Amino acid sequence: MGNYWFYENHTDGYGVNWKIKKIVHEETTKFQDLAIVDTVEWGKALVLDGMFQTTEKDEFIYHEIITHVVMKTHPNPQKVLIIGGGDGGVLREVLKYDSVIHVDMVEIDDRVVENSKVFFPQIASGFDDFRSNLHTKDGMQFVKNTLNKYDVAIVDSSDPIGPAVGLFSKEFYKDISNCLNDDGLVVVQSESPIFYEDIFKSVHKNMSAIFSNVYVYLATIPTYVSGPWSFTIGSKKYNPENLPNDKNYISGLKYYSESVHKAAFALPPFINQMIR
């Protein structure tokens, strides 16, 4: 085995080295640099613009925690919107609910989807489900123009660089709100409060300008930048901290549980201070 290392730069003073076995595939799409690398510790990984997005070993943590918190909060999620998430992990988790009858997934880069089908079939297993509808479009334009109404929206965006920048804006959250039903809710990944405090606070501020009920919860994603990773919910009606009686038991989950759900909303004082 060669001694190959992949360097991932997060800030001017912090980066991470990943030992890799080989570069499985790489290309430049219309929107970003895409690579599939085989790592020593984490299995195959999807890399976009030099940043790890998904790894085989820990993908279930991110995909379960961003999906099931809002899906369990809504009492009867039937129509779901996914923005981003081209690897298919969120789609896979959403489709575990029998109540779901229709999912619109909007991914701007079709090459992310196609490569995920080839190299991560266990993650991208939901694309052939009859309930899923893939739209290769800009997510911001989709929510601005759609006439559909959704119970739950999940914004599984990459970091706010390149095509994902607008997915962190107040205008985008307003458009998301407009395409939600009167009891709908949306969740977004809102970055690391420690390393990207400005982005984290901006997401909370922008969402609070649109939704009267905004909640933050945390999880640790091992292959993301060190420390807690945040998720922010905008809700029109339901409080995700008050987990209802579980009408939709989902078996086989490896990270999410009712106790994890409740604990995720226990924020350390320094993070609470950021969003006051």
Query: Helix (H, G, I), strand (E, B), or coil: what is residue 190?
Result: coil
CA 104 to chain centre: 15
pLDDT per residue, tens digit, the chain (276 aa), is 567 899 988 888 999 999 999 999 999 999 999 999 999 999 999 999 999 999 999 999 999 999 999 999 999 999 999 999 999 999 999 999 999 999 999 999 999 999 999 999 999 999 999 999 999 999 999 999 999 999 999 999 866 555 455 667 888 999 999 999 999 999 999 999 999 999 999 999 999 999 999 999 999 999 998 889 999 999 999 999 988 666 677 889 999 999 999 999 999 999 999 998
Give me the residues paired with residue 130 across strands. Answer: none
Environment class of 87 (CB within 10 Å of its CB; exposed 0-12, middle 13-18, buried 19+): buried
Residue 266 near residue 226 (C-beta atoms within 8 A): no
Is 98 annotated for ligand binding? no
What is the C-alpha to C-alpha distance for residues 25 and 203, in angstroms, rounded to an integer? Answer: 33
3 state DSSP class of 21: strand
Is residue 139 marked as binding?
yes
H helices of the chain, where?
59-73, 89-94, 110-119, 139-145, 170-178, 197-208, 258-264, 269-274
Cβ proximity of 17 and 7 under 8 Å? yes
Q: Are 107 and 113 within 8 A, CB to CB?
A: yes
Q: Kindly list the catalytic residues.
A: 156
Q: Kindly report whether the global pTM for this prediction surpasses the value 0.75.
A: yes
Please state, in angstroms and as integers, the Cα–Cα distance from residue 224 to each residue in 50, 112, 170, 227, following that order: 13, 19, 25, 8
Q: Where are the alpha helices (DSSP H) in 151-196?
A: 170-178
- Go through the domains of the chain in sequence order and give each one's CATH number: 4-52 (2.30.140.10), 59-274 (3.40.50.150)
Asked if residue 138 belongs to a known ligand binding site, the reply is yes
DSSP 82-96: EEE-TTSHHHHHHTT
Q: Is 159 annotated as a binding residue?
A: yes
- Say if residues 119 and 25 touch (Cβ distance below 8 Å): yes
151 is in an annotated binding site: no
Pick from 121, 90, 120: which is nearest to 107 by CA? 90
